[in-house]
Amino acid sequence: MTKKILHALTRNNTGRPPFWFMRQAGRYLPEYRKVRATTSNFLELCYSPKKAAEITLQPLRRYKMDAAIIFSDILVIPDALGQKVKFVDGVGPVLEPVSKASDLDCLSSEEIDNVLQPVLETITLVKYALNNNTTLIGFAGSPWTVAFYMVEGGSNKDGTKVKYWAKKNSYSFQKLIDILCDATIRYVLKQIESGVEVIQLFDSWAGLLNREDFKRWVIEPNRRIVKNIKFHYPNIPVIGFPRNAGKKYFDFAQQTGVDGINIDHTVSLDWAAEVLQPICTVQGNLDNSILLSGGKEMDSAVKNILDILSRGPFIFNLGHGILPATPPEHVERVVKLVNSWRG
Ligand code: 1CP
């Protein structure tokens, strides 16, 4: 058994680097679109273990990635807490916003286990289907990013409302973050019990915050989640993804206790090699728009990443999820380049 992802996360890379892709299951694959078309409701898909397991495995059949990531979404947590969540075609997630302290009374952790049970069943099904070389990754959104969607009511790129609440009434906003921390810890521990071998925490909106707020709303909650995972399962590696954090990636890597850190495409490779790799396994960071456009530029971007980051602990991945219009052949080409890489 050679689980290259687990080796990389314990700083023992050998041979070509392991790889997987954020959003490796998704709309760029015709076989995904086919299963997606069987239900109009995206969350229902996340809660259908057989379909979700099938979708999780689809990209592996094509590309034999070193990891499978469970097909689900970060917004199952607000759904499980009782907030109204739906996904609208062409728009994205739409939530009935929570915007003030009294709205928190509508959230309840009573149903979490029941609502999320199907995701655990998906994990069992996928685990059974995987070969011995493929690592199973579970995930959750980090509290700041999940709070972003809960307060904004969807994707609002500048996060005005969530930042306003955090500034104006940090006491009640902390309560929301605490609710999310507790729910997330409970959820990821159950994922581990069900068979995932790595947890990735997505903090996609971390880049909205200044250094002080980043410490409070990004580093602290992620640190608390990592600490709880390590308390119960010291050998389960955690990968953090404070997207667009710039130089603050270092503070995050140093202070949260993560084993790996996913960098977005704006992070300089030399800086990541020099500053991050000595303390953490680096995962990333091909620009998803280069993956979309392909060609020679893509080839040289991939080689450059491999050249610079493969000297240290490293997992090849993207800087952000695969875009829906990406031609599957481009993914195939990248896989070929990584597989044939010989330092
Ligand atoms: O079929 C469709 O139309 C739905 C598209 C889709 C998919 C395939 C969404 C809606 N979510 C997912 C799956 C998903 N989401 C996975 C599955 C595993 C895989 O990677 O293959 C994962 C890990 C996520 C995580 C997720 N969801 C994040 C964190 C990572 C990131 O992209 O920054 C976020 C922010 C979401 C919210 C979300 N889910 C879907 C949309 C359109 C959005 C909003 C994105 C935005 O605000 O721009």
Active site residue 213: no
User: What is the C-alpha to C-alpha distance for residues 311 and 127, in angstroms, rounded to an integer?
Assistant: 31
Residue 279 phi/psi, 5-degree rounding, is: -115, -5
Tokens representing 184 are 């997330």
Render each residue's pLDDT in the chain as its tens digit; 343 residues.
689 999 999 998 888 999 999 999 999 999 999 999 999 899 999 999 999 999 999 999 999 999 999 999 999 999 999 999 999 988 999 999 998 999 999 999 999 999 999 999 999 999 999 999 999 999 999 999 999 999 999 998 899 999 999 999 999 999 999 999 999 999 999 999 999 999 999 999 999 999 999 999 999 999 999 999 999 999 999 999 999 999 999 999 999 999 999 999 999 999 999 999 999 999 999 999 999 999 999 999 999 999 999 999 999 999 999 999 999 999 999 999 999 998 7
Integer CA distances (angstroms), 124 to 22, 67, 191, 320, in order: 21, 15, 9, 27
- In sequence order, what E strands does the chain have? 67-69, 85-88, 92-95, 135-141, 198-203, 238-242, 260-262, 281-286, 314-318
The region that residue 98 occupies, defined by phi over 0 for left and psi between -120 and 50 for alpha, beta otherwise, is beta
Domains in the chain: boundaries: 4-340
Distance 20 CA to ligand 1 centre (A): 16
pTM: 0.97
Domain 4-340: assigned CATH number: 3.20.20.210
Angle at which helices 49-63 and 112-129 cross, to 10°:
40
- Our mutation pick for probing the ligand 1 site, out of 48, 56, 72, 73, counting the most ligand atoms within 8 A of Cβ, is 73
Residue nearest to atom 47 of ligand 1 (CA): 155
Distance 150 CA to ligand 1 centre (A): 15
User: What is the C-alpha to C-alpha distance for residues 134 and 1, in angstroms, rounded to an integer?
Assistant: 9
Integer CA distances (angstroms), 8 to 34, 134, 253, in order: 34, 13, 16
Active site residue 224: no
Residues 16, 32, 73, 203: which is the catalytic one? Answer: 73
User: What is the C-alpha to C-alpha distance for residues 160 and 141, in angstroms, rounded to an integer?
Assistant: 19
Angle at 54 between CA 58 and CA 120, to 5 degrees: 125
Active site residue 233: no
Active site residue 73: yes
